[in-house]
Each structure stands twice: as C-alpha cells, then as structure tokens.
Amino acid sequence: MREVPRRPRGESLAAYGFIAPNYALLGVFVLVPLVGAFVVSLQRTDGFGDGEFVGAANYARLVTDPVFWRALATTAGFTVVVTAASMALGLATAVLLNSVLPARGLFRSVLILPMAVSGVATALIGVLVFDQNNGILDKLLGAVGLPEVNWQSEPVPAFATIVLVTIWWRTGFNMLIYLAGLQGIGPDLHEAARLDGANSWQRFRNVTVPLLGPSSYFLVVLNVIYSFQVFDIVFVLTGGGPQGATNVLVTYAYDTGFVTRDQGYAAAIGMVLLLLAVVFAVVQWRASRTRDLVE
Amino acid sequence: MQLSRRAFLAATGAVAAPLLLPGCGFVGGSGGSGGGTGAEGTLTFTTWGTDAELAGFRSAIEAFQQANEGATVELNAVPYEQMFTNIDAQLQAGNPPDIFRVPYYTFGAYAGAGQLLDLSSHLSDGVQDQFTETAWAAVQNGGSPFGLPHHTDTSAILYNKTLLDAAGVTDVPTSVDDAWSWDELGLVADRLKAGLPSGTYPFAYNWQGNGVTRWLSLLFQADGAFLDTDQRTPLIDSDAGRSAVEFSSSFFRNGWVPDTDTTTSSTYAADTWFSGTVAMVWSGAFQIPDADSTADFEWGVTYAPVGVRGGGDFGGNALVATQATGQPELAASFLEFVTAREQMQGFCQAASLLPTRPDLLDGSLSFDVRPETTDVFVGQAGQVQPQDAAQVASPSMSGIIPVLKTQLDAAFLGSQDAAATVTAMAQGIADATGA
C-alpha cells in the first residue's frame, strides 16, 4: 500500500475553507429540507397547521397502494429503456463524431443543443410532434400511407412518447461524456491491437469499451437518477395519462402533495424515491470498483 | 475520463438532491404584510389574471384608495401556475397576503382548514342580499361566509358556424327554453359526425385538469348530486349518477369527441376547437376575447343541453381574506368595495365574466367584446342551482377532484361501466370526506 504523504496543516485548512461554502449551501438547501421532508412523511397533514403524527402509517399505506406500485413499475421501465437507449445512442454518435467526419464540430453542436433547452420547452415540442389530432408525426405517417398512431389516448404509444422525447433530450449529454472518454484513449492502444490482428469490432469491443468503463459508470448512475426524477416532460406531455399509463413516482408525489393535499403521503413517496436512488448509487459503486480503469 | 471518488459522491449527492423537492413545498416571495407588519392601512392582495382582469383589479384598487384616504392596497399579480403553491407556502410560513383570489372549488380547502377570515362580524348589514343565492352558497363554510363571490362563469357551447353549416346543422337554440335535450344533442352530434371531414369531431368537453368539476353539470342536469347537504356523505351512486356517466361515456363510444378529450388529457378542449378539430366546445365566457382575436372562422354561442332539468357548473372565483390578516375590517371593506355593483359591472364586462349580483343579471350587463353573446351566458348562469354550487364549496374538493378525474378517465377510455364508475366514485368521495 502506498503511503499517503501528510499535508501541511495550512493546506488542509485552505482546502476546508474552499469546500465550506459548498457544504453550507448543501446543508441549508438539501440536508435541512431532507430532514424536514422525512418529518413530514411521518405525519398526516394537508400542509396547514400542525400535522398529526402517524408514525410509519404513510409508509405502510404505500405497501398496499396499487397506484404507487404501478407508478414505481412505470418509473423503473422508463429508467431501463431510457438509460439503455440514450447511452447506446450516445456511444454510437460519440464514436462516429470522434472519427474523421466532415463538419463534425457542427454535428457535435447540433446533438448537444437539446441539453440547452428546458424540460418544459422540450415537452412542448413533443406535444407539437405527437398531438394525435394535429401533430406533425401522425400527418407524416398518414402522408406515406402508414396508419396513424394514437400517441395520446393509448397507453403504450403514450409511454413511447415520453421515452422518445427524453432520449432526444439526453443523447447529446451522453455523447459529450463518451466523447471526452474517447479522447482520453491514446491511439497507441488501437495501433497495438491492429498489429495483433484485431478487426474494427474487436478493437471497439476489447479496447474502446473497457477503457470507457469510468464514463459508462458515471453515465449509468446519472441517467438512472435523472430518470427516477423525471417530472417536467411527463407532466407537460401526458399529464400522467392516459389511464395512468405514464404516471411516474414524481408526478404521483406531485399530485398527492399539491392536488390532493395529502402532503405527508407525498413526502413518504419522495423519501422512497431518495432511498431507491441512494441504494442504486451505493450498489453500483461497490459493484464497479474494478471499473476505475485508466490507461 | 477520470473521476475521483469524492468528486463522484459530491456529484451524486447534488443530482439526488432534487428528488426531495416534491415533498417539501415551494417557498414563494410575494412579500405579504399580513399580521399587521405593513404600514397602517396597507393590504396585500395576491391574484392571477388575464390582462383585462388585472386592469380591472388595478382600477378597483385605485377607486378604493381614493374613497378611503390612508388605505393602500398592494397588488401582487402572479402566474396562475404559481398561484397556489405560492399561497400555500405563505400560509404554511405564517406570512400570507391579506387578501387573495380563489376558485370556488378550491375555496373549501382553505376555509375548512381554518386559513380564511370568517367575515360574519366584519361585513355590513344586508351584504348577503346583494348576491344571488347560488353565489352566496358557494362561499359558505359551516354556515358562515369566508369570502365574497367576485364573479362566476359557467359553460355554454361555442360553435364553429362554418363547420356546422357545412354539415347542414343550421338550427341552434337561441333561448334557454329551446336548449337541446340530451337526445337532441346526440342527434346533432350524429349529423355532424356524418357531415364533417374525417379527423374532425362534433364537439369537445372542457373537463380537463381541475375543470373536471364541469362534468358535474351533466350530473346536475340529470338531477343528481355528488354530496349531501352535510358536504360529507356521497350521493353519486344513484340513477342520476349512472345516467350522467353513461351519457358522457357515450361521447367517446360514438366518436362524438376526440379520444384526447378525456379528463386526464394534457390537451385542452378549447385548443381542439381553435384548431378546427371539433365543431363545438363547452366553454366559459372568459374564452370570448381569445376566440374573438384568435379564431379564423365564424363562430357563435348557444346553450348547454338540458337533461331532466337545466344545470351547470358554478365556475369563477371568490375573494377571501386570510385568518392571519392584521386588518380584518379594512380587508372586509375592500372585499365589499370590489364586489359593489359599479366595480363588478366594469370588471365583468371587460373580462367577459358573469356577475354574482342579481342587480347585474337583469339585462344591464354587456360584454365589451362580442356583446351579443352576453345574454346566452347570463341565461346559462341562471340554470345553476344554489344546491349545486354549495356542493362544490366542500372542504374536501381537493380530494374529490382526483377521484372524479381518474374514474371518468377509466369510464371514457377504459372499459369501466357506469355502475362500477359511480360505485368507485362514491367510495373515493367517502375516503376524501372521511364519511
């Protein structure tokens, strides 16, 4: 084991000084509300006056609430599909744009542009595309003789719309991270593999992909957490419908907290969401120690 | 890409943090001076509004300040989307405005939770007689007034004359007594469906989002009720309830409305009418200025249909003072001033809204935009019964609205029949009211 050199005392103090503002902000705006939300989750309250302390009753109610389980399943399904698809597309475009492609700077910029658009604006663009009465997509499908799809009134197509819009929104970010990872891989490794007789696919599979391990790991965690907290796109694009088919955990928590005014129960849903995200991050962290792979 | 463990954990923490936000409310910043912390005689008033509505409020405030020397009212206009998360956060923080504007269907949640000022001892004698019985019923909680009814609105039918003419429907009701019966509406819808181009529908109903209370118009037209007079016991599991669900479900079954017209849809009915996808739309009078400036076709207004009896939703907004106000007398006097005849008339005419005073429902009201539509909406408002409006003032409406939305959606687009729907609604309403 390598000996960690002891740092001078002044340097440590300076370091603490630099991180102190971050931790102060994190404490005030994250940790305090977090504890507050946990306390609310133990109450039955409409948000006015003092709530009634009910212990774990809100959590017990979650277990038998079919809407919660359905929203959890929808969120999990959304997370798996969106994470896999947007990472695969991000990797594919990054590899493409890392090669000697004409105008690749332009293509990179175009792909990253959706990142600069807010979620609500993205969803509104989605509404224009997927509106089943006047939307662009159904008109295009009709023009080429294909049957029109009920994007808004049938459960599976409606779920597909939130997935497609999210992928469009997020692929550019995934590409950006992969592109940074790809540029850290020296050409000598590929050259050595080529001399050893590896073809393009073998070089991609056995050189590029393993060396992108840290990027992939980072993206998996980030995509999963982003997907678990999806709200704006669903809220604007489908409102959780039709028939609850696109109701995810955060839209359910929002409706419960701000429409039904059952704020204790909504806070309990929020705590479960946090727990799932933390558990996932920890499990990924432990499982992926060997993937801190660098050249 | 290299990432240190610490940097990674910090990034993960920052990313995970917003997950908590849905549970912890929104802290608004309207700078209310409730609790008497403002200058002497200063009221804070938070509202949302269209340009015409805000202009109306500003001119009312100016007149009030001129009539009451030393009194000032600070208007805080916010977007509707932020209005109630903002108000809730301020109430929770103990720093609400003195006065705010609230829809009748949300009024009960605040009044029932003890957040509003009981106006009984602060109002002038005889104020009750200045309002219609229906409007007065909509601001009651536990037998006391907790607000004054500022205006109402109810749904009539806007029709695209070009599309109706093209389908051969030229005879639309011109008086409330001639309003279509449910059966006649069905016949008109069938004629439209046969005569309209493919992809165009006879009508759309404005029951999306919190507008689901507008479905109650059909329940009332069937002479039904969803709550007993105790505002707790569900009454919807009845013949009238089944009839209203059955009739409204038939809109979807018969293809009279687009499938996107369901209660949970993110597409508003009015948008499908403006785009020419539907020929008729249930709409409040507030839509008239938009229709006048936006619709690129000839349009008119007719009455909503009549079932066993006439009936309609009691839409619109009340003005309320908060329990925490330090100036209850001044607040009550402002509410009375804004709802006085002259002020209400100016506000309603400019913003295309309906008054809550009988002395403005006698033909003296005329909308600034498309004045010929005024009588239709005033006539339609006359169909709203006090017992119907009183139910919507239930303190449990915030729990009842999601029940109506979900169950109607299941009946409209799913396979849930009318009997199962009203049974589930009754159960959901009982859960919400604690009956």
How much of chain B exceeds pLDDT 90, in percent? 72
pLDDT of residue B115: 94
Among B231, B216, B177, which residue's Cα sits nearest to residue B313? B216
Q: Is the model's pTM score more than 0.95? A: no
Find the range with the poorest average confidence among A5-14, B66-75, B170-179.
A5-14
* CA pair distance B55, B34, nearest whole angstrom: 24
The residue with greater pLDDT, A217 or B28, is A217
Q: State phi, psi for B39 to the nearest 5 degrees.
A: -65, 155
Q: How far is B294 from chain A (nearest CA, A)?
A: 17
Q: State phi, psi for B356 to the nearest 5 degrees.
A: -110, 10
| Structure tokens given for A215 | 């990027």
Query: In the predicted model, is pLDDT for residue B3 greater than 70?
Result: no
CB contact under 8 A, B18 and A241: no
Mutate: best of A175, A208, A243, partner B, most B CBs <10 A? A243
* CA pair distance A146, A162, nearest whole angstrom: 22
Please say whether the beta carbons of B338 and B60 come within 8 A.
yes
| Structure tokens given for A83 | 């994470």
Query: In the predicted model, is pLDDT for residue B29 greater than 70?
Result: no
pLDDT tens string B373-396? 999 999 999 999 888 888 988 888
Fold of B156-313+396-433: D-Maltodextrin-Binding Protein; domain 2 (3.40.190)
The CATH code belonging to domain B34-152+316-378 is 3.40.190.10
Q: CB-CB: which of B16, B210, B272 is closest to A278?
A: B16
How much of chain A exceeds pLDDT 70, in percent? 95
Q: B32-52: buried (b, 16+ CB within 10 Å) or exposed (e) per residue? A: bbbeeebeeebbbbbbbbbeb
CB contact under 8 A, B413 and A153: yes
pLDDT tens string B84-130? 889 988 998 889 999 999 999 999 989 988 999 999 999 999 999 99
Query: In the predicted model, is pLDDT for residue B81 greater than 90?
Result: no
CB contact under 8 A, B24 and A242: no
Please give the average per-residue pLDDT across B9-28, as a whole number: 41
pLDDT of residue B39: 40
Sequence ranges of chain B with CATH classification 3.40.190.10: 34-152+316-378, 156-313+396-433
| Structure tokens given for B92 | 């929770």
Sketch out chain A's domains with CATH numbers.
66-291 (1.10.3720.10)
CB contact under 8 A, B19 and A255: no
Nearest CA in chain A to B269: A133
pLDDT of residue B209: 80
| ipTM of this complex prediction, to 2 decimal places | 0.78
Q: How far is B277 from chain A (nearest CA, A)?
A: 7
CA atoms within 13 A on the CB side of B111: 30
DSSP per position, B229-261: TTS-SB--SSHHHHHHHHHHHHHHHTTSS-GGG
pLDDT of residue A291: 56
pLDDT tens string B251-300? 999 999 999 999 988 888 999 999 999 999 999 999 999 899 999 999 99
pLDDT of residue A113: 87
